[in-house]
Amino acid sequence: MLGLMQDEPLLIWRFLEHAGRHHGDIEMVSRRVEGDIHRYTYRGALNRSKKVASALDTLGLAQSDRVATLAWNGYRHFELYYGVSGSSRVIHTINPRLKPEQVAWIANDAEDRVFCFDMTFLPLVKAIAPYCRTVRHWVALCETEALPEYSGIPNLLSYEAWIGAEDGRYEWPVFDERLAAGLCYTSGTTGDPKGVLYSHRSTTLHAYAGSLPDSTFLSARDCILPVVPMFHVNAWGVPYSAPMMGAKVVWPGAALDGKSIYELMEAEQVTCAAGVPTVWLGLLNHLSSEGKRFSTLRRTSVGGSTCPPAMIDAFHKLGVEVLHGWGMTEMSPLGTVGALRNKHVGLSWEEQLPIVAKQGRAVFGVDMKIVDPDGEELPWDGKTSGDLLVRGPWIASKYFKREQESLLIDGWFHTGDVATIDADGYLQITDRSKDVIKSGGEWISSIDIENIAMAHPAIAMAACIAVPHPKWDERPLLVAVKKSGANIDREHVLTFFAGKVAKWQIPDDVVFVDVIPLGATGKMQKSVLRERFKDHALPA
Ligand code: ADP
């Protein structure tokens, strides 16, 4: 016997329709790439998103056709999220930090029909346009007057003229909630990038889960500033969860330096934010050098790579709670968040810090386990580490166009991360399997070493990598960037590790560099460092 409840498919346009009807006067604020501030309300966003949907009809796009975006966080990108997915097409967000040939490769693989881009990316688009075989229409996210007289890009439209031709009267279609809604390619550090294809159903369930009290606690009283880009894993779902909750949103555009973010936070009275650790480094440095504090910011979601405990502590001293989350593109991305349990509430901050610094507990919908190389489940003792496996309704089962290859083994997705889980269910990522350092049959967590190094007052950034060793197979090398004006040497750094890890886990050597290369999603590119230092002579 089936239940007798209304059978409304979970479709993405419902988020914005809800916000337009129930939170219609709530503002959305964007720093535009033009430099000025744009404001309107959810009602305005709904109206213009419907124009996008109609404009795609006018171009003759079919269901599930792909529309690419190469854009910063802003209101036009938000309208595309809804106009494209809401009208049953697929929004394909592309990371502009990838190399031009990768962008073209991805656009061809996705068979994008329409390609929308911020004017800042005009040179990139000019370079790739001749190689994008399936794109029929190029749309520059600007007014008609801002279009260049001659661009060489065929069928170039201005977004404002394109959607301005529509009257905004549009009925959202109703279709199967399992239909594809969004496409995002993995960064492709190993092999070609692979497309993760989100559905309306997975995106909706993920938005609910991401807003829960122990996830981000997003509410109608919040003003959220997502620094995490809309071009990568849907800005962690904020474009869906914010209208769902009726929260005000502030999009930072292309100005991601500490000063610009801080000023926007203060001007718009931002209460919560989201981003990877590297962007928060810039913000925290700005505050400490200017002696400033936040007047309204209360919490920030941090993930994408390990949030060093020193950073969580720095935010805490500024009255901001860090919600340390873990996930991946294949997981939409949310997997776990490090919120405290009831029994931790009475503890001192020094006792709470190591708990919230872990990657946290599984949100409802995600199940996880750690296994040994034979696939046997390992104990949740906080010490035994193993390969991390996950499953759930917003986790990929296959990659786009590789439908014949299942990603699941016995129903579980292999994350490629190595982790421990403690008795309270807190996950701690000890490494990515390819970053772990294998010394004499024992594993050294590069993340543990980096967290300690990052707590050193003179170190701005640190990566720990494996260097080949004749006796031990591999030994750890610390690659560090000094804070400006800091005066430290190798011995000084190595002494700092004494008593913090076992002696054999202390790096054999330290090299100082000016910068650590960051990948397209702001993560340290340890593979580049491994290549650069593969012949590094460790001291005997
Ligand atoms: P995203 O860009 O959303 O982080 P990716 O698919 O590019 O997604 O990368 C996912 C990987 O990033 C994870 O498998 C894990 O290795 C790493 N990662 C993500 N969040 C964390 C975290 N909080 N701590 C440690 N590693 C993390």
User: What's the domain range around 455?
Assistant: 437-532
Which residues, at least 6 apart from 449, have a Cβ–Cβ distance to it below 8 Å?
462, 464, 476, 478, 497, 501, 505, 507
Is the pLDDT at 63 greater than 70, yes or no? yes
In a domain, 81, yes or no: yes
Q: Is the domain of 421 the same as that of 446?
A: no
CA separation (Å) from 45 to 20, 82, 139, 143, 317? Answer: 8, 9, 19, 17, 37
What's the pLDDT score for residue 522?
83
In a domain, 320, yes or no: no
What does the alpha-carbon distance between residue 75 and residue 28 come to, in Å, rounded to a whole number? 7
Which residue has its alpha carbon closest to ligand 1 atom 11?
Answer: 328
What does the alpha-carbon distance between residue 481 and residue 510 come to, in Å, rounded to a whole number? 10
**pLDDT tens by residue, 473-512:** 899 999 999 998 888 999 999 999 999 988 999 999 999 9
| Mean pLDDT score, 371-386 | 96
In a domain, 400, yes or no: yes
Of 432, 462, 490, which residue is a domain's last? 432
Question: Phi/psi of residue 487, each to 5°?
Answer: -125, 90
Q: Is the domain of 421 the same as that of 475?
A: no
Domain holding 57: CATH number?
3.40.50.12780
Q: Is the domain of 377 the same as that of 495?
A: no
Q: 3-state class of 260 per DSSP?
A: helix
| Ligand 1 centroid, distance to 429 Cα (angstroms) | 9
Per DSSP, which regions of 372-426 are E strands?
386-391, 408-409, 412-421
| Ligand 1 centroid, distance to 388 Cα (angstroms) | 12
What does the alpha-carbon distance between residue 386 and residue 436 come to, in Å, rounded to a whole number? 12
What's the pLDDT score for residue 460?
92
Q: Is the domain of 20 the same as that of 133?
A: yes
Do 140 and 120 meet the contact criterion of CB atoms below 8 Å apart?
Answer: no
Q: Is the CB of residue 274 below 6 angstroms from any atom belonging to ligand 1?
A: no
Which residue has its alpha carbon closest to ligand 1 atom 27?
Answer: 305
Q: Which element (helix H / strand E) includes 114?
A: strand 112-117
Atom of ligand 1 nearest to the CA of 415: 14
Do 447 and 405 meet the contact criterion of CB atoms below 8 Å apart?
Answer: no
**pLDDT tens by residue, 197-237:** 999 999 999 999 999 999 999 999 999 999 999 999 999 99
| Mean pLDDT score, 18-22 | 98
Pairing of the two strands 137-140 and 112-117: parallel
Domain holding 458: CATH number?
3.30.300.30
DSSP secondary structure letters along 496-515:
HTTTTS-GGGS-SEEEE-S-
Q: Is the domain of 35 the same as that of 167?
A: yes
Domain count, the chain: 3
Do 261 and 225 meet the contact criterion of CB atoms below 8 Å apart?
Answer: yes
Q: Is the domain of 492 the same as that of 418?
A: no
**pLDDT tens by residue, 150-182:** 889 988 999 999 999 999 999 999 999 999 999
Q: 3-state class of 282 per DSSP?
A: helix
Which residues, at least 6 apart from 212, have a Cβ–Cβ distance to it below 8 Å?
363, 364
What's the pLDDT score for residue 123?
96
Do 91 and 183 meet the contact criterion of CB atoms below 8 Å apart?
Answer: yes
Angle at Cα 500 formed by Cα 472 and Cα 423, nearest 5°?
A: 95
Q: Is the domain of 387 the same as that of 371?
A: yes
In a domain, 262, yes or no: no
What does the alpha-carbon distance between residue 3 and residue 221 come to, in Å, rounded to a whole number? 35
In a domain, 482, yes or no: yes
What's the pLDDT score for residue 189?
60
Q: Is the domain of 369 the same as that of 423?
A: yes
Name which residue leads in pLDDT, 393 or 98.
393
Q: 3-state class of 93 per DSSP?
A: strand
Residue 511 β-bridge partners: 479
What does the alpha-carbon distance between residue 80 and residue 77 come to, in Å, rounded to a whole number? 5
Q: Is the domain of 493 the same as that of 408?
A: no
Average pLDDT score, the chain? 95
Angle at Cα 80 formed by Cα 170 and Cα 67, nearest 5°?
A: 105
In a domain, 140, yes or no: yes
Do 225 and 216 meet the contact criterion of CB atoms below 8 Å apart?
Answer: no
What does the alpha-carbon distance between residue 88 and residue 200 come to, in Å, rounded to a whole number? 9
**pLDDT tens by residue, 449-479:** 999 999 999 999 999 999 999 888 899 999 9
In a domain, 40, yes or no: yes
Question: Which residues are tagged catalytic?
Answer: 186, 330, 438, 443
Q: 389: pLDDT confidence band, cut at 50, 70 and 90?
A: very high
Tokens of 491: 């011995």
* Ligand 1 site-directed mutation target among 231, 276, 305, most atoms within 8 Å of CB: 305
Question: How many helices (H) and strands (E) are present in the chain, helices listed first?
Answer: 15, 26
Domain holding 370: CATH number?
2.30.38.10
State the residue for tokens 């701005």.
460
What's the pLDDT score for residue 202?
98
Q: Is the CB of residue 432 below 6 angstroms from any atom belonging to ligand 1?
A: yes
Is the pLDDT at 104 greater than 90, yes or no? yes
User: How many other CB atoms sit within 10 Å of the CB of residue 85?
Assistant: 28
Q: Is the CB of residue 387 below 6 angstroms from any atom belonging to ligand 1?
A: no
Q: Is the domain of 416 the same as that of 493?
A: no
Q: What is the dihedral of CA 349, 351, 353, 356, to 10 degrees?
A: -110
* Ligand 1 site-directed mutation target among 184, 328, 521, 526, most atoms within 8 Å of CB: 328
**pLDDT tens by residue, 512-528:** 999 999 988 888 999 89
In a domain, 108, yes or no: yes
| Ligand 1 centroid, distance to 358 Cα (angstroms) | 13
Q: Which of 152, 81, 140, 147 is nearest to 115 (CA)?
A: 140
Q: Which of 235, 337, 237, 239 is nearest to 279 (CA)?
A: 235
What's the pLDDT score for residue 188?
63
Is the pLDDT at 191 greater than 80, yes or no? no
Is the pLDDT at 190 greater than 80, yes or no? no
Q: Is the domain of 158 the same as that of 50?
A: yes
| Ligand 1 centroid, distance to 304 Cα (angstroms) | 4
State the residue for tokens 């400490």.
288
| Mean pLDDT score, 281-297 | 95
Of 432, 463, 493, which residue is a domain's last? 432
**pLDDT tens by residue, 308-352:** 999 999 999 999 999 999 999 999 999 999 999 999 999 999 999
Q: Is the domain of 38 the same as that of 177?
A: yes
Atom of ligand 1 nearest to the CA of 359: 23
**pLDDT tens by residue, 123-153:** 999 999 999 999 999 999 999 999 988 889 9
Query: Quick one: CA dihedral 101, 103, 104, 105, positive or negative?
Result: positive
Of 376, 409, 432, which residue is a domain's last? 432
